[in-house]
Structure formats: C-alpha cells, structure tokens
Amino acid sequence: MTATLQIVHQEEPADAIQEFSLADVLRAREDGVDFRTAASMFAGAVEHFESKGHNLYRRMLLQPSDAEALVDYPREAGERRMIILASNNYLGLASHPKVIDAACRAAVQYGTGAGSSPLLVGTFPTTRKLETKLAQFKGTEDACVFSTGYSANVGVISAVCGKNDVVILDRLAHASMVDGARLSGAPIKVFHHNDVDHLDRVLRRNREANTKLVCVEGIYSMDGDAAPLDQILQVCRKHEALLLVDEAHSTGVLGKGGRGAAAHFGIEGQIDLHVGTLSKSLGACGGFVAGKADLVTYIRYLARSGMFSTAPSPMVTAAAAAALEVIEQEPWRVEKLWENARFMHSELVRMGFTVNEAPSPIIPVIVGCNSKLRQMTLELHRSNICVNSVPFPAVARGSERLRISLTANHTLEQLAEALRCIEQAAINAGLFATKLAA
C-alpha cells in the first residue's frame, strides 16, 4: 500500500486572520496612527509571535551561507546544523577558496574600506578590474559598481528618468525598482506580469514621453519565473523605449556560462541597461549597472545613490572579480545548480504541491494560508531545514508561500531529506489529506 497526497484548499481561520499581520500596522499608519504608537503595536506583535515560537527571523549563521551550516537561534539552547534552503548564494562562491583568497589579499593591500565615494578617491584597481570583467561578462561596453544592488536600481532609474519621462514596471517588479521610479519623479505605469501585449498597449498610451524606460527582472525573486526578454525587447524597440533588466537572480544562473537573461534568449549586446547584484551568484555584496559606455558614464556621475555613498570595499570588488573568473573556470557549477533545480521542482510537483510552472533555482511552494505557513516553517526549523516563509502582505493573500532557493553545492541527499520534511510538515499542517491506495 502506498500513500498519496491530495491538497486541501482551506480558508484562513477567522481567528488566524485577526491575530496579526504587518498589514495591520501599515493600515494603522495610513489611518493616522503615529510612528511611536505603531512601533509599540509592532513590538507587541513580535513579542506575541516569539512567545509562540513562530518568530524565526534573525536566526544567526555561524558558518558561510551555503548548502548546510550551523545556525544559532536565540530562543533555543545550542546550535543546529541545518540544510539551508534560504540562501541566494546560487553557485556556492561565497565560500570558494579563490574568492576568499582574493578578498584577503585585497584587504592586506588596500585596507577593508573604500573611505570615500567612488567619484572622489574611493576607486581602487580592484574596482576597475571588476567593472571591466562585468562588462565583458554581460557583453557590454562598460559597467559601474554600487555599494548594494538596491542602490543600483534606485540610482540608475532615478538618474535615467525625470518628470518628462515615464517608467514602466512589470507588476511584480522588485521594491528597489519601484523606489527608484518614485525617486525619479517620472510618472509610473505598470503592466501585467510578463504580458507583452499589455506592455505594448501601455507604451502606445505613453508615446509622448521623452524617455520611456521599461523595467523587468531576468528571474523574478518571489516567483522564480523568467521574463520573456526577447519578446519584451521587440516591443521596446517598436516604441523606441529603453529596456532595463534587473539581473540580480539571473546573473550566474541563466544563459550559457551563467551570463544572464540576455544570453539565455540570444540577445546579448541588445539590452540597454543590465542592473545586477554582487551578493548572490558572485558571492560578495554590492550592485552594478552595465551597458553602452555613454549611458554608464552618465549614470556613474549622476546616480545619487552612487555619488553620495561610500564606494564598495576593495575586498568586495576583488572577491566579485575572482568569482567571475571561477564561473568561467568551473562551468559545472551552473550545470549542477540546474540539475538540483530540476530535481527539486519535479519532486515537489510529483508530491502534489503548487509550485512555479518551470524549474528554477527559486521555487515558491504555495501554502495559501498564513497560519499553516507559520506552522510548516516552525516544524521545518525543528527538523533542521532552514527555509524562508513569505506571508501576506509580502505576497497577495492566498499565495502565502515557502520560498526555496537552491545552490550548486546542495547534494541530492540533502534535497531528498528536505523534501521528506516538507511533505511531512504539509501533512501535519493540514495542507494535504492522506489517502491509502492499494
């Protein structure tokens, strides 16, 4: 006899909905509650969640953020060795000996901090080397680094657009793109997620704008799906719009050699602006923009988040440059990442979970209920599986999820153990009903 699973669609219990949500605090602020009162409300809610053991935020890693690590949680006595399904260190390069060695050598030679903004005296040889390598990796003329990926999007979009322009965002665009668009002062328009026809209509309605900037992601951070970049590019060219692709989750992941979304769709050299991060596949921290030399030079001088921030540490830029070299020298890492993604995705589908349509290193496992999500996340923690939970209002009600992210360093044995625990947690939370079949 074998057990089969059948998903149970159940509404959030009324008392669970009333218990607490970040949306309650945000709504209170909109209704006129002052900051100090809202902060007190939030502190009480955090204390309540901690008393029930549901606040798993701020767990502390005692080892590199890799496939497995020691984790310390203040509410517990002792450390846990956990399988980490919550790291964006996709290629496992944050702990690669060559990357660490490059950072150490840069620290000895140049110190640990840049000490100044990049346009003044905060640029080191490691920065120039990294920018050259990034431009080559993306097939562009030039690149410019930022202190974070967030500041890259904010700085680039607000430098490119102004009040006479228009910023057009995919509905699921990252918060950094939304904030950059707001800071620009340009009108903001939104098109349905990955809907090329709707994008075409939005561009047609805004054809009078001086500069039309379309912003999409190579791989979307919450849903793990890729933008149809080749089709989006055609629509942008039709309307003489610039195309910005946030490659935070596609650099080192998509395309031959992990060169990104443009390489995946065979349109290298045709994207106006690649924005990305050094903190995921490249195992460091920081952000970048890559594109034509004149566009990058303009952004380098006029992006406020770059100009008015201390430049990235020489340790960081040296580490990221070394990571790009490792990606070229060890192409098996990208292949292993996708092997793990296909295995995990197919097994979750076989078990009956609702996941993204196609395999991806980011796999959303839809739970659809905040209370069940909390229960599953806590049980997984106790089973030594570290996974991110994404409740409402971070995602729409009914799409609450576990967000699994994979690395090239995960073994099939680790993933099989994680799958076993996820399945059992779903059953215990009432997400699945068990049936016996002969």
Contact 235, 225 (CB under 8 A): no
CB 392 within 8 A of CB 370: yes
Length of the chain: 438
Kindly report the backbone phi and psi dihedral angles of residue 38, in degrees, each rounded to the nearest multiple of 5, phi listed first.
-65, -40
Q: How far, in Å, CA of 133 to CA of 318, rounded?
A: 11
Cα dihedral sign for 265, 267, 268, 271? Answer: negative
Single-letter amino acid, residue 407: T
Q: Where do the DSSP E strands lie in 188-260? A: 188-191, 212-217, 242-246
* Whole-angstrom distance, CA of residue 300 vs CA of residue 297: 5
**Can you say how many angstroms the Cα of residue 85 is from the centroid of all Cα atoms in its chain?**
13
Which helix (H) or strand (E) segment holds residue 179: the answer is helix 175-184
Angle CA(365)–CA(45)–CA(81) in degrees, nearest 5?
50
User: Token match 């692709």: residue?
Assistant: 245
For the record, the structure tokens of 37 come out as 């009162």
Residue 272 and residue 295 in contact, taking contact as beta carbons nearer than 8 Å: yes
Active site amino acids = 221, 249, 280
